[in-house]
Amino acid sequence: MKTIDELLRQGVEGKRVFVRADLNVPQDGTTITDDGRIRAVLPTVKALTEAGAKVVVASHLGRPKGAPDPAFTLRFAASRLGELLGRPVAFAGDTIGSEAHSAVAGLESGQVAVLENLRFNAGETSKDDAERAEFAARLAALADVYVGDGFGAVHRGHASVYDLPRLLPSYAGYLIATEVGVLKKLTDDVRRPYVVVLGGAKVSDKLGVIDHLLEKADRILIGGGMAYTFLKAKGHEVGISLLQEDQVPACLDYLARAEKKGVEFVLPVDVLVSGEFPDLKTKAPANPTLVASHAIPADQEGLDIGPETRKLYASKLADAATVFWNGPMGVFEHPDYAEGTKAVAQALVDSPAFTVVGGGDSAAAVRTLGFDEDAFGHISTGGGASLEYLEGKTLPGLAALED
pLDDT category at 398 given cuts 50, 70, 90 is very high
360 is in an annotated binding site: yes
pLDDT at residue 26 above 80?
A: yes
The pairing of strands 16-20 and 54-58 is parallel
22 CB-contact burial (10 Å; exposed 0-12 / middle 13-18 / buried 19+): buried
pLDDT at residue 69 above 80?
A: yes
pLDDT of residue 367: 87
Higher local confidence (pLDDT), 364 or 108? 108
Q: 364 near 357, Cβ under 8 Å?
A: no
pLDDT of residue 37: 92
pLDDT of residue 207: 86
60 is in an annotated binding site: yes
85 is in an annotated binding site: no
Give the distance from CA 382 to its chain's centroid. Answer: 3
Give φ, ψ of 68 to 5 degrees: -55, 140
Whether 360 sits among the annotated catalytic residues: the reply is: yes
Mean pLDDT score, 44-56? 98
Q: For residues 194, 200, 205 and 208, what is the CA-based torsion angle, rounded to 10 degrees?
A: 10
302 is in an annotated binding site: yes
306 is in an annotated binding site: no
> Average model confidence (pLDDT) for the chain?
95
Q: Where are the alpha helices (DSSP H) in 318-378?
A: 339-350, 360-368
Length of the chain: 403
23 is in an annotated binding site: yes
Mean pLDDT score, 223-240? 96
**16, 37, 132, 219: which is the annotated catalytic residue?**
37
pLDDT at residue 236 above 80?
A: yes
pLDDT of residue 34: 86
**327, 358, 360, 382: which is the annotated catalytic residue?**
360
pLDDT at residue 381 above 90?
A: no
Dump the DSSP string for 285-304. ----EEEETTB--TT-EEEE
pLDDT of residue 238: 97
pLDDT of residue 208: 87
pLDDT of residue 201: 87
**pLDDT digits 0-9 by tens, 314-332:** 999 999 999 999 999 999 9
**pLDDT digits 0-9 by tens, 253-262:** 999 999 999 9
**148, 239, 384, 397: which is the annotated catalytic residue?**
384
Higher local confidence (pLDDT), 381 or 251? 251
74 is in an annotated binding site: no
How much is the pTM? 0.89
pLDDT of residue 109: 98
Start-to-end CA distance of the chain, whole Å, equals 8
Extended beta strands in 48-177, E state: 54-58, 90-91, 112-114, 145-148, 170-172
**202, 216, 257, 311: which is the annotated catalytic residue?**
202
Task: Please tell me the least confidently modeled range out of 78-82, 116-120, 155-159, 361-365.
Answer: 361-365
166 is in an annotated binding site: no
Mean pLDDT score, 101-127? 98
Share of the chain above pLDDT 70, in %: 100
149 is in an annotated binding site: no
Mean pLDDT score, 199-226? 92
Name the CA radius of gyration of the chain, rounded.
22
**pLDDT digits 0-9 by tens, 330-369:** 999 999 999 999 999 999 999 999 999 987 788 889 988 9
333 is in an annotated binding site: yes
pLDDT category at 202 given cuts 50, 70, 90 is confident
119 is in an annotated binding site: yes
pLDDT of residue 54: 98
pLDDT at residue 403 above 80?
A: no
